[in-house]
Amino acid sequence: MTTSSATPDQHGSTAPTGETPLVPVGVLGARGRMGTEVVKAVNAADDLELVAMVDAGDWLFDVANAGAQVVVDFTRPDVVMDNIRFCIDNNIHCVVGTTGFDEEKLATVAEWLRPKPGVGVVIAPNFGIGAVLLMRFAQEAARFFPSTEIVELHHPNKVDAPSGTAVRTARLVAAARRAAGLPHPPDATTDSLPGARGADVEGVPVHAVRLTGLVAHQEVLMGAAGETLTLRHDSYDRASFMPGVLLAVREIGRRPGLTVGIESFLGL
Ligand SMILES: NC(=O)C1=CN([C@@H]2O[C@H](COP(=O)(O)OP(=O)(O)OC[C@H]3O[C@@H](n4cnc5c(N)ncnc54)[C@H](O)[C@@H]3O)[C@@H](O)[C@H]2O)C=CC1
Ligand SMILES: O=C(O)C1=N[C@H](C(=O)O)C[C@H](O)C1
């Protein structure tokens, strides 16, 4: 199947005049909550072709055998590194939404990419445009407020806590606070139950709520003398992540190396 356009495809392959080949896409975690939504979104896109759906117990080689040029990974923090390694080794670009990345894992991926200058990997804790903007707004506002705390709220089937988005937001806020020379936020607590003040992510308290009925939500609360600022984002449906995922799938062939977050794809 082809679309009718004269432009070359994002991977640089040559197309017959007037036609652009569809980008072959594989989905890892294809039977999961996010994978199911990605499969629907890829099938609905005129310029993409779903060539492989892989879930736990399936053969990873299927994505390479099917000729996938881009793989989308929404699996689990404990398996995603093996998947990325496989894709890089097989010259397949990766769009990764799976969470659980720290600086060490990101450095490892960057190292794997070094001998593969044509391969791109984007790892984004959140593909929701509103969530990306929330992170940016929090980063901008952080230096004006002595106190910042983060509350993330998710469905109870989520395996990781705090969320990848909350951890990244906390790190961005912490970096902005450091750059502005802000001291540790005021907090007189000396007596508390374990966990009552949340997880400490680079000095920013992060609180995780797991509640039936929720999808993915985050509040960043900032306080100064006599005022507070609350930034909130809500994903009510996993469809909210799809414009960002499809943008990354279309863009990643032009972005060799490691990209963290989709901010640069959005021109932010
Ligand atoms: N970046 C973003 O915008 C978003 C990220 N996420 C993250 O995506 C990940 C998945 O979330 P959900 O879809 O809710 O989880 P889920 O549990 O519904 O889906 C994960 C799927 O991966 C499969 N899987 C496990 N091991 C595998 C392997 N080795 N190869 C292929 N498939 C394998 C599981 O069988 C399951 O079907 C989580 O880390 C979550 O935090 C979720 C939503 C948005
Ligand atoms: O597991 C989820 O659902 C989500 N995971 C991501 C995260 O951990 O930040 C993104 C979003 O919050 C939904």
What DSSP string describes 202-223? TTEEEEEEE-TT--EEEEEEEE
| Residue 220 bridge partners (DSSP) | 150, 231
Residues with CB under 6 A from ligand 2: 99, 125-126, 154, 158, 163-165, 216
Q: pTM of this prediction?
A: 0.93
State the span(s) of the chain assigned CATH 3.30.360.10. Answer: 129-186+197-236
Task: Report the interhelical angle of 129-141 vs 164-179 (nearest 10°).
Answer: 20
Residue nearest atom 10 of ligand 2, based on CA coordinates: 126
State the span(s) of the chain assigned CATH 3.40.50.720. Answer: 23-123+240-265
What local confidence, expressed as pLDDT, does residue 9 receive?
Answer: 42
| Residue 231 predicted with pLDDT over 80 | yes
Asked if 150 and 206 touch (Cβ cutoff 8 Å), the reply is: yes
Catalytic residues: 154, 158
Assigned CATH for 129-186+197-236: 3.30.360.10
pLDDT 10s digits, 137-184: 999 999 999 999 999 999 999 999 999 999 999 999 999 999 999 999
User: Which CATH number does the domain 23-123+240-265 belong to among 3.40.50.150, 3.40.50.720, 2.60.40.420, 3.30.2230.10?
Assistant: 3.40.50.720
ipTM above 0.85, yes or no: yes
* Ligand 2 pocket mutation pick from 73, 80, 95, 163 by most atoms within 8 angstroms of CB: 163
| CA–CA distances in Å: residue 122 to residues 6, 8, 80, 177, 200 | 27, 22, 13, 26, 26
pLDDT 10s digits, 30-77: 999 999 999 999 999 999 999 999 999 999 999 999 999 999 999 999
* Ligand 2 pocket mutation pick from 135, 154, 260 by most atoms within 8 angstroms of CB: 154
* β-pairing verdict for 227-235 and 216-224: antiparallel
Q: Taking all residues of the chain, what is their mean pLDDT, rounded to a whole number? A: 94
CA 33 to ligand 1 center in whole angstroms:
7
* pLDDT band at residue 4 under the 50/70/90 scheme: very low
pLDDT 10s digits, 94-148: 999 999 999 999 999 999 999 999 999 999 999 999 999 999 999 999 999 999 9
Tokens at 93, concatenated:
């670009």
Residue whose tokens read 């670009």: 93
What DSSP string describes 38-53? HHHHHHH-TTEEEEEE
